[in-house]
Amino acid sequence: MTVDYKSNNAGKDQPTIINMGTAQGWPAPRNIPHSEQYGNTYWIGSSAMSTLLTSSRKDMPYLKHVKMLSKSWKTLRHLADFMEVGTSPLQWKYLKTNPDERGERCERTNITLLEYRSESVPKTTSITSANELKDKLEFISNERSEPPPLRMFIVEDLSRAVIEQLGSRFDIDPLFFREQIEDYVWHNTRDPWATPPSLTASTKQRSWFRLRNLRLRYHDTGTSFQNAKREANMWNVLRRPDNDNNHWPHKDAVNNGEEDVVSLTRTRTTIWIGQDKKCSNGTVGIVLLDPTLTDGKPLWYDRMNWLPTTSMEQGPPPALDLSQSWYKDIVQMTTAFPWSESAAGHTVESQVLTFPTIYTVCAEWLIVCDYVKTRLNQIEWEVELPTVFRSKGDTIDGSLKRLHTWRRYIPIFREMVSETLEQALPVAVRLTTASSTQIPPLEAFDSIKPDFERILKILEELQARIDRLTDLVTSEISIEDSKFNYVHNSILGRLTWLATIFVPLSFVSAFFSMNEDVSALKNTYGWFFLTAIPFATCVILFAYLAANDFFHLPMLKRMRTKTVKLS
């Protein structure tokens, strides 16, 4: 796949057109959904979908099941459309004329299968095609081992083949997949893909839960950021990196005339835990992960590695090549679990299905909090020392604009973290703790729960700090406007004095110009200066006294005296 870039869009935060490489047979240019160039998102050509996709519905019992449920669970209609199109239905207007690309999207598979047995190192299998996944699931169904191993499928992106095979094999709640295919903070009133909030009572009965967080990525140029937006448009799940619009000219880089960008991508991770009814009710976990952008690089040094450092006597540390991608990092951390002891002598526990993912999400949140704190510190320095930290020609309005970005985002962040604490962690405890285990609620997650509480507290402090900064910056803008108006009025005052000087001169010259005797003009000049200069002096003196309230002072004194007598 190659990308064509419009020269007039280089370095700008504008949605542009994607050109698929002809090597894969995907020729047509396309616009990013929900961009200005995309057009009406409600007219995507789906009216002909039922006719064109009839052949794709054969041998798809799970899709049939989803469509049947969608009559009562309306939000599942969008999942059915997703499976029929092979990706977000918003791409259908382009895919209906690109069968090669649609075929690749429908079959896209990138899965790591981990199999855990007691006191042994987990077995890892990479699955990169739909046929491999089908063969592996058939092999598992025919395998007879007692006790059955604990199995975990870690899935990057989603496709029709993955949803159909995993969903039908393990009889998974379709809402599990529906939750992953898109991420909207809010919906328009006409959006057919809107998902109403679920009751807390219903979430307690589910065998899955979701985690939402934000991922940061540094792009050294605006072109790199545009490439990232185009790349995200090629994912099956609907995600979009956003420009944080917080470039700081004092320290941030400018390369080839383009400002660097830190992109913000909202991310979803959904975890299902259930029993394999076809394999002695063995425990199975499925983790759905978002893809990772290849353009740009992780901010700073990415997440902190929470594994304990090894001593000199223990030899080399575990071979972990982190910060490759969201998917690979979670696979590596899951493979290395338990982190404080050898896997060869460790009893398999179902916490392995959730701990590595939850820890990774938490570590990413700490990076986000530090980044927001950095941007707020920069704004504070600009307000305190504008001559040092504000670029020449910049105004404080730019600081307020950057501040508004975080005013919009922080409440969303707080909602995400609160949801993790109030819904995700309790469900994770219920799904990973046996009913016979004498473990109090949430004690199994006591190692990570304080970190989420700390993140929520930091976000609340950042929210209060943003509110204070907004008031401060707004008052600073008012002060600067007052200074500007004062200077402007001073300039107008000087112009008024200049005009006042020429008023009597113009009057006298006009008066003498009525004389038609040209021979008398030599005397006219003498009389002009003799008359105009004293007259102009009197007018200027009168204007000066009027400007200083000379004539109003006696009246003010009389009013004050009268006020004192009345009191």
Q: What is the mean pLDDT of residues 16-44?
A: 57
User: For the range 336-345, what are the long-range contacts, defined as Cβ-Cβ under 8 Å and sequence gap of 24 or more?
Assistant: 336/307, 339/306, 339/307, 339/308, 340/308, 343/120, 343/121, 343/122, 344/119, 344/120, 344/121, 345/119
Task: Kindly list the distances between the CA atom of residue 469 and the CA atoms of 280, 281, 378, 464, in Å, as whole numbers in the listed order.
Answer: 60, 56, 11, 9
Please give the residue that has the higher pLDDT: either 546 or 92.
92
What pTM value is reported for the model?
A: 0.79
Q: What is the mean pLDDT of residues 295-313?
A: 84
CB-neighbour burial class of residue 494 (10 A; exposed 0-12, middle 13-18, buried 19+):
exposed
What pLDDT score was predicted for residue 23? 38
What pLDDT score was predicted for residue 10? 39
What pLDDT score was predicted for residue 483? 73
List, in sequence order, every residue forming a beta bridge with 151; answer none if it has no partner: 115, 284
Inter-axis angle of helices 355-384 and 396-419, nearest 10: 160
Buried b (16+ CB within 10 A) or exposed e, 32-70: bbebeebeebeebebeebeeebeebeeebebbebbbebb
pLDDT in tens, 469-500: 888 888 777 777 777 777 777 777 767 766 77
Which pLDDT band holds residue 522 (cuts at 50, 70, 90)? low
User: For the range 302-308, what are the long-range contacts, defined as Cβ-Cβ under 8 Å and sequence gap of 24 or more?
Assistant: 302/367, 303/329, 303/360, 303/363, 303/364, 303/366, 303/367, 304/363, 304/366, 306/339, 306/359, 306/363, 307/336, 307/339, 308/339, 308/340
Q: What is the mean pLDDT of residues 231-248?
A: 91
| Short-list 220, 214, 239, 221, CA closest to 229 | 239
What pLDDT score was predicted for residue 565? 47
- Give backbone dihedrals phi and psi of 270, rounded to 5 degrees, phi first: -120, 130
| Short-list 181, 197, 164, 213, CA closest to 65 | 164
Q: Which stretches of 233-336 are DSSP H helices?
A: 326-335
What pLDDT score was predicted for residue 28? 47
% of the chain beyond a pLDDT of 90:
40
pLDDT at 9 over 80: no
Which pLDDT band holds residue 77 (cuts at 50, 70, 90)? very high
Which helix (H) or strand (E) covers residue 567, if one does?
none
| Short-list 210, 218, 209, CA closest to 367 | 218
- Could you give the angle at the alpha carbon of 532 between the alpha carbons of 527 and 535, nearest 5°? 130
pLDDT in tens, 262-274: 999 999 999 999 9
pLDDT at 503 over 90: no
Residue 424 per-residue DSSP state: I
- End-to-end, the C-alpha distance of the chain in Å comes to 88
pLDDT in tens, 334-350: 988 877 665 554 556 78
The tokens for 12 are: 């700008």
pLDDT in tens, 203-213: 888 999 999 99
Among 309-313, 367-371, 401-405, the least confident range: 309-313
% of the chain beyond a pLDDT of 70:
76
pLDDT in tens, 154-203: 999 999 999 999 999 999 999 999 999 998 888 888 888 888 888 888 88
Inter-axis angle of helices 160-170 and 76-85, nearest 10: 120
How far apart (Å, rounded) are the C-alpha atoms in residues 540 and 527?
Answer: 20
The tokens for 190 are: 């006409």
The secondary structure of 61-112, three-state, reads HHHHHHHHHCCCCCCHHHHHHHHHHCCCHHHHHHHCCCHHHHHHHHHCCCEE
What pLDDT score was predicted for residue 25? 42
Q: Which stretches of 156-221 are DSSP H helices?
A: 160-170, 174-178, 200-203
Mean pLDDT score of the chain, rounded to an integer?
80
pLDDT at 6 over 50: no
Q: What is the mean pLDDT of residues 41-69?
A: 70
- Give backbone dihedrals phi and psi of 490, rounded to 5 degrees, phi first: -65, -40
What pLDDT score was predicted for residue 349? 75
Task: Kindly list the distances between the CA atom of residue 515 and the CA atoms of 208, 502, 518, in Å, as whole numbers in the listed order.
Answer: 103, 21, 8
pLDDT at 22 over 80: no
What pLDDT score was predicted for residue 525? 65
pLDDT in tens, 414-459: 999 999 999 999 999 999 886 545 555 556 678 899 999 999 999 9
How far apart (Å, rounded) are the C-alpha atoms in residues 16 and 144?
Answer: 53
Among 63-77, 299-313, 317-331, 541-555, the least confident range: 541-555
How far apart (Å, rounded) are the C-alpha atoms in residues 13 and 222?
Answer: 7
Domain range list for the chain: 7-308+320-478, 491-566
What pLDDT score was predicted for residue 510? 67
Which pLDDT band holds residue 509 (cuts at 50, 70, 90)? low
How far apart (Å, rounded) are the C-alpha atoms in residues 548 and 529?
Answer: 28
pLDDT at 14 over 50: no
pLDDT at 124 over 70: yes
Could you write out the DSSP letters of every residue in 132-168? HHHHHHHHHHH---SSPPEEEEEEES--HHHHHHHHH
Among 319-333, 353-367, 402-416, the least confident range: 319-333
Which pLDDT band holds residue 258 (cuts at 50, 70, 90)? confident
List, in sequence order, every residue forming a beta bridge with 127; answer none if it has no partner: 111
pLDDT at 547 over 70: no
How far apart (Å, rounded) are the C-alpha atoms in residues 539 and 533?
Answer: 10
CB-neighbour burial class of residue 218 (10 A; exposed 0-12, middle 13-18, buried 19+):
middle
What pLDDT score was predicted for residue 7? 34
